[in-house]
Chain A
Amino acid sequence: MASTASGTAPPPRSLPVVDKDSQTFWTAGEQGELKIYRCQDCAYYIHPPVRFCPQCESRRVEPEAVSGKGHVVSFSINHQQWVPGLPVPYVLALVGIAEQDDVRLVTNIMNCPPEEVSFGMPVKVYFEQVEDLWVPLFEPDSEGAPRP
C-alpha cells in the first residue's frame, strides 16, 4: 500500500473466490490488461461479468481489453486501523471506466496522497500480483481530464 507514513508492510490483500465468468477480470493483469465483458452484438459492457446482455439479450458476450482509464466516482479516506499493522490512511474508491459510465470497479487509489484524491479525478489502472491473481489498482492519470 502506497502513500502511508508508517513505512511498515501492509497486511496481505484478501482475495476473492474466482468463477468461470470472473476469471478473466482477475487474471488479465498478467498481460497488463483490464478486461471487461462486452456484448458482441451491441457493444455494451457488462459488469459484473455474465454472458447475457441486458440491453439486447444477446448471449454473444466476450471479455475485451479496455483502456484502463477512468475517473473517481466516489471515495473514502480510511483512518481506522482495523487490524494490527494496517498502514493508515488509505483510500477506498469506486472508479467508473472511461468506456461506459455504468461499469464501476472497487479499488484503492494508490501513488497519491489521500488528501489529494478528489471526485471526478482521472485515474489509470495498474496491477499488483497476489498469489495467482492480478489485482487492478488505480493511480492518478496526469494525461486525463477530470469529470465534472
Chain B
Amino acid sequence: MTYGEKNTAITGIGQSEVSRGSDKSALELTVDAALGAIRDAGLTRADIDGIATWPGADNNTSGFSPVGVAQIQDALRLKLNWYGAGGEVPGQYGAVFNAIGAISAGLARNVLIYRTMYEATARKTSFANSLVKGGERQAGIFLWYAPYYNYAAALQQSLMFNLYVHKSGIRPEQVGQIAVNQRRNASLNPAAVYRTPITIEDYLNSRMIATPLRLFDCDVPIDGSTAIIVSRMDVARDGPNVPIRIEAIGSSMQYRNSWVQLDALDTQAQPKVAEMMWSRTDLKPKDVDIAQLYDGFSFHTINWLENFGFCERYGAKDFIEGGTRIALEGELPINTGGGALSAGRLHAYGAVHEACTQLWGRGGDRQVKKPLNVCATSTAGGPLAGAMLLVKD
C-alpha cells in the first residue's frame, strides 16, 4: 500500500501581519501570505497549478472566511489545473488532504493552500456572534441548538469540555498551564497579538465565559492570513527549503458526525483520527519532537495530548501539571509560537506555519533548542478532527 501523502511535502510558508484590526483588506492580507509562501518555496506565480482552502468564501460579513478561491486566483492571475474548497472535510486540514488527493491524482504539482480570517474587523462593525442570527429561523448543523440561547462556540463546546472535566478530574490550575505556557511562547514571537506573560493567578482570575471555559481558554479573533505550498515530492526536492514531508494523515469519520449525538463526547472525534494517522507510519508518539495542537479552546489541546498518545486517557492533567513538559525546554514543546490563544486565531494554519518555522530552525528567540525532525499537528474539535505528522526530509 502506498499512501498518497508520502509523495507530498510542504515547501514554503507565508503569513500576513496578524492584528486585532488591520489597515489592509482581507484579500490583500491573503495576497501577502500567498506571495510569501510562493517566494519561500522558490517558486513563482506561474508554478502554482492548484489551490485549496477551508472552508472557501462564506459570502457574508462575519469575517470567518472572507476570501474564496476565485478572488485569490483572480488577484494573482493564477492558471490552475485543479482547485477546491469546502467546509465538510476533516476540519481545517481538509484543504491539505484535498491537495494531497489532487497531487496523487496527477492534477497538480504545487498547491497553494491558505486560510484567511477577518474577524477582528468584522466584530467592530456588523458582526455580533456566529451561531445565532436574529430575525431568521436557524438551519444547518446547529439547528437543534436554535431555541436554547446558544450564542457561541465557547458555550456549545463547553458541553464537551465540562464532561471531560467531570470524567478526568482535571483542575483549573492544571488547565491554565496551556494558556500560561502559550503566552510565554508568544512573548518570544514578534508576530503574536498578545505578548505580555500571564501567571496562573491571572488565568484563575480571568472571567468565566461558560463553565469550565475562562476567557484565557479561548482563542483570539484576528485579521490575518496564512499560506503554505504543498508540492509533489520530486518537485519539492528541487526547492531551496528542506522539504517537510507529510508522513501521515488522519482524516476519518468513524463517529456520529453531529454536535449533539457525537458518540465520543468527552474525547471528541479525535481518537480514531489519531489512530488512523499512526496506522500510516512506523513512527510512534515517542518519536515526536514538538507538537502544534489545535487550540480553538485550551481543552482541545488537552484532548489532543491524550488522543495522540502523548499521555494516557485522562492523564493530561498530570502531563501538563506545572507546565514544564510542554514548555520550549520540555520533553514535548507544544504550540511554540503562542498558538491561537495568544498569537491569534489563524485557525490551524498558524499551527502548520509554526511547525515549519520550528523544523526549519527559523524560530528566533522561541526556537526549540534540541534537534527537530518530527512534528505532530492537529485540528478541530467536536465531531471534526484532522491530524498530520510532519517530518523534515
Contact residues of A with B, CB < 8 Å?
Answer: 1, 10-11, 13-18, 47-48, 73-80, 82-83, 86, 90, 92-94, 102, 104-108, 119, 130, 133, 135
| Residues B137 and A76 in contact, CB atoms below 8 Å apart | no
Nearest CB of chain B from residue A20's CB, rounded to whole Å: 14
| Residues B137 and A106 in contact, CB atoms below 8 Å apart | no
* Chain A residues in 8 Å Cβ range of B150: 92, 106
With A15-B138, A119-B163 already in contact, the answer to whether A80 and B128 are too (CB < 8 A) is: no
Which of A16, A18, A90 is within 8 Å of B149, CB to CB? A90
* Chain A residues in 8 Å Cβ range of B211: 76-77, 79
Shortest Cβ distance from A26 into B: residue: B147
Which of B132, B134, B139, B159 is within 8 Å of A75, CB to CB? B159
* Chain B residues in 8 Å Cβ range of A102: 261, 263
| Residues B152 and A82 in contact, CB atoms below 8 Å apart | yes
| Residues B155 and A108 in contact, CB atoms below 8 Å apart | no
Q: Type the 1/0 row for B122-160, where 1 means its CB is closer than 8 Å to any CB of A.
A: 000000110011100111000111111111101110111
B209 at the interface (CB under 8 A from A): yes
With A76-B158, A79-B208, A92-B156 already in contact, the answer to whether A14 and B261 are too (CB < 8 A) is: no
| Residues A76 and B159 in contact, CB atoms below 8 Å apart | yes
* Chain A residues in 8 Å Cβ range of B134: 14
Would you give 12 A-B contacts (Cβ < 8 Å), ordered by A? Answer: A13-B147, A14-B146, A15-B137, A15-B138, A16-B143, A75-B162, A79-B210, A80-B151, A80-B152, A80-B155, A92-B156, A119-B163
| Residues B155 and A78 in contact, CB atoms below 8 Å apart | yes
Shortest Cβ distance from A131 into B: residue: B137
B: interface residue count bin: 35 or more
| Residues B152 and A106 in contact, CB atoms below 8 Å apart | no
With A77-B211, A79-B208 already in contact, the answer to whether A16 and B148 are too (CB < 8 A) is: no
Which of B132, B149, B209 is within 8 Å of A1, CB to CB? B149
* Chain A residues in 8 Å Cβ range of B156: 92
| Residues A79 and B149 in contact, CB atoms below 8 Å apart | no
With A74-B265, A77-B211, A80-B154 already in contact, the answer to whether A17 and B147 are too (CB < 8 A) is: no
B107 at the interface (CB under 8 A from A): no
Shortest Cβ distance from B139 into A: residue: A17
| Residues A16 and B138 in contact, CB atoms below 8 Å apart | yes
Which of A10, A17, A48, A108 is within 8 Å of B137, CB to CB? A17
| Residues B263 and A14 in contact, CB atoms below 8 Å apart | no
* Chain A residues in 8 Å Cβ range of B276: none
| Residues B149 and A73 in contact, CB atoms below 8 Å apart | no
